[in-house]
Amino acid sequence: MATLNSPEAIRRRLEEERAALQAEIDATPIDNQNQKDSYGAQQHPADEATELFLRERNISIRSNAQDLLTQVDQAMQRLDAGTYGTCARCGRPINPERLEALPYAILCIDCQATMERGT
């Protein structure tokens, strides 16, 4: 049986994360059905604003999910290369609890904090 930190368990976790992100991307339309149904018809300005808001929100959701999907794919590549769980900045091991919460993390918590502070 695979332990929580085994490569098999990590790969399974990353694959689950990848599947969830892909499902989110697939389920988030960029164009709203109401926009398609009313093509050529004049809409009330408030309706147009709502449609624009929904479209921009969906684009943002998809973009974020695609970015995370890229990070998951890169984590799988690191797993294959034997570098998964090693901080890309300092080379120390990333805390397993951090990887449990964020399985595609590339930085340890200290380096992440340093990067966020911009120092």
Same domain, 41 and 10: yes
Same domain, 36 and 56: yes
Asked whether residue 81 carries a pLDDT value surpassing 90, the answer given is: yes
Count how many domains the chain has. Answer: 2
| Structure-token pair, residue 2 | 């695979």
Asked whether residue 3 carries a pLDDT value surpassing 50, the answer given is: no
Asked whether residue 111 carries a pLDDT value surpassing 70, the answer given is: yes
Asked whether residue 33 carries a pLDDT value surpassing 90, the answer given is: no
**Which residue, among 55, 49, 77, has the nearest Cα to 106 in the 3D structure?**
77
Same domain, 99 and 68: no
Which region among 31-35, 62-66, 82-86, 106-110 has the lowest average model confidence (pLDDT)? 31-35
CA atoms within 13 A on the CB side of 53: 6
Neighbours of 83 (CB within 10 A): 14
Same domain, 64 and 40: yes
Same domain, 47 and 92: no
pLDDT at 60: 94
Asked whether residue 35 carries a pLDDT value surpassing 50, the answer given is: no
Mapping DSSP onto H, E and C, the string for 52-64 reads HHHHHHHHHHHHH
Neighbours of 34 (CB within 10 A): 13
Domain ranges, residue 89: 85-119
pLDDT at 9: 93
